[in-house]
């Protein structure tokens, strides 16, 4: 894990390798880690998310994303989720709506995150 500054936003970037994020308690642990690094955004590789995150019926995506929002942390899920989106219209809509906002983004790459943050900073 590493922390860097991008367009005035301090981002905690998780490594691809590591324990899966599969419960709200895991999200709480990340909140604490982000605070200890003074980060306001957490970038999570898609590989770190338990597959149930992408099954909206499980409620996991809602619980985890809400945890970050409640603690005023932004979440960027980084990686290819096209297979999950193709399998679920509800997930496709969730991703689309999330990407319109400021708190939860689903992006293909770290470069996309940098561009999105730069774009938002330029407004």
CB 8, CB 37: distance < 8 Å: no
Distance CA 25, CA 113 (A): 25
CB atoms under 10 Å from CB of 4, counted, come to: 12
In the CATH scheme, what is the code of domain 2-113? 3.30.750
Q: Is the pTM of this model over 0.75?
A: yes
pLDDT tens for the chain, 123 residues: list them: 899 998 889 999 999 999 999 999 999 999 999 999 999 999 999 999 999 999 999 999 999 999 999 999 999 999 999 999 999 999 999 999 999 999 999 999 999 999 999 987 765
Cβ neighbors of 120 (< 8 A, separation 6 or more) are 7, 102
């Amino acid at each position: 894990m590493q922390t860097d500054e991008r367009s005035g936003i301090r981002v905690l970037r998780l490594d691809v390798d590591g324990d899966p994020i599969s419960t709200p308690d895991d999200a709480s642990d990340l909140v604490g880690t982000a605070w200890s690094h003074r980060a306001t955004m957490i970038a999570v590789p898609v590989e770190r998310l338990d597959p149930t995150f992408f099954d909206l019926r499980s409620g996991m995506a809602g619980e985890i994303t809400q945890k970050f929002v409640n603690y005023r942390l932004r979440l960027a899920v980084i990686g290819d989720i096209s297979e999950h989106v193709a399998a679920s219209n509800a997930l496709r809509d969730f991703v689309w709506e999330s990407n319109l906002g400021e708190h939860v983004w689903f992006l293909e790459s770290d470069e996309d995150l940098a561009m999105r943050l730069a774009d938002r900073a330029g407004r």
